[in-house]
Amino acid sequence: RKNLDEIKRMSTGIGIEWITPIGPLQLVFAKPLNDKKGDDTNSFEFNLGTRF
């Protein structure tokens, strides 16, 4: 079992959601603040449609 400090991560970013005729469009831009080697650090996310 890992210590919480070893797995804790923080990031900052902004998200925009726009309701289009074909469904909600969401754009998210983020930047990790304390990433570690081996982390998956995607900085852009694009979603079209609703979440379940």
The pLDDT tens digits for 2-29 are: 676 677 788 899 999 999 998 999 999 9
Q: Tell me the two tokens of residue 8.
A: 């804790």
**Residue 12 and residue 48: Cα distance in Å, rounded?**
22
Q: Tell me the two tokens of residue 42.
A: 């995607």
Q: Model's pTM, two decimal places?
A: 0.61
pLDDT at 40: 78
CA 39 centroid distance within chain: 13
18 residue type, one letter: W
pLDDT at 28: 93
29 against 40, higher pLDDT = 29
**Residue 9 and residue 1: Cα distance in Å, rounded?**
17
